[in-house]
Amino acid sequence: MWDLVKRWWRTHQARKKAWTEHRYIALDIETSGLDPATDQILAIAWVEVAPPVIHYTTGRYYLIDHDETDLKQSPVIHGLVKKDFIETSQLCDVMAQLSEQLNNKILICHHIQLDWRFLKQAAKRCDIELSPLALFDTLAFEASRLKRQQHHIQRGSLTLTACRSRYGLPEYDAHHAFSDAIGCAELMLAQGYKYAGSSKSSLF
């Protein structure tokens, strides 16, 4: 309950500043499934954004050491197979780095509800606190925008690739954590500058 109150307060404070005055971490993860209780983070990537700039040199991509279990649909969805995990990072080491990176920054994901559940589960396992200033979901922003403009939302129209195409952004290889993190960062900037511009508006 207290975590919810703190997150609400941080988001409330974030709304008082123009979106361009914030710093962001655009992040993507690849997992073995959709349930944080039983599935694992296989890869994680992020990059820092300071509008209008994406700081590519801050980009990080980690393959995570995981239990010797079936990769499930990962070879099909993400293209990750067992031989990719010869050199890996420990989950808790990566979570510690991410915790530092998120300090006083807004976390951006495409479909943040799922990614945030996995991140919270991992942070709890590692006894690490993740405290971003606020959360921003590029998928939810696009869905809300389309509904307000009375567009019919078709199946597949809210994927990262589909959302990017509406802003004239190039198509990247999907389902790779690093390219998806970059893609999410670019989409957020496109959404921000098209619908809030350089005004004092907030995206929240």
Distances, alpha carbon 117 to alpha carbons 15, 25, 39, 120, 197, in Å: 23, 17, 11, 5, 31
Q: Provide, rounded to the nearest whole percent, the portion of the chain with pLDDT above 70.
A: 83
* pTM: predicted TM-score of the whole model, two decimal places: 0.86
CB 90: neighbour CB atoms within 10 A?
A: 12
Mean pLDDT confidence for 175-182:
91
Under the banding of pLDDT at 50, 70 and 90, the label for residue 187 is: very high
Greater pLDDT, 158 or 74: 158
Q: Is the pLDDT of residue 35 over 90?
A: yes
Residue type for 78, please? Answer: H
Tell me what pLDDT residue 32 has: 86
Per-residue model confidence as pLDDT tens digits over 66-118: 766 555 554 444 455 555 556 789 999 999 999 999 999 999 999 999 999 99
pLDDT at 173 over 50: yes
pLDDT: which is higher, 169 or 9: 169
With cut-offs at 50, 70 and 90, classify the pLDDT of residue 4: low
- Average pLDDT of the chain is 87
Own/partner pairs for 3-9, CB < 8 Å, 24+ apart? 6/131, 7/134, 7/135
Instruction: Quote the radius of gyration of the chain (alpha carbons, Å).
Output: 17
Complete domains list, the chain, with CATH? 2-195 (3.30.420.10)
How confident is the model over 9-18, as a mean pLDDT?
75
pLDDT confidence of residue 22: 93
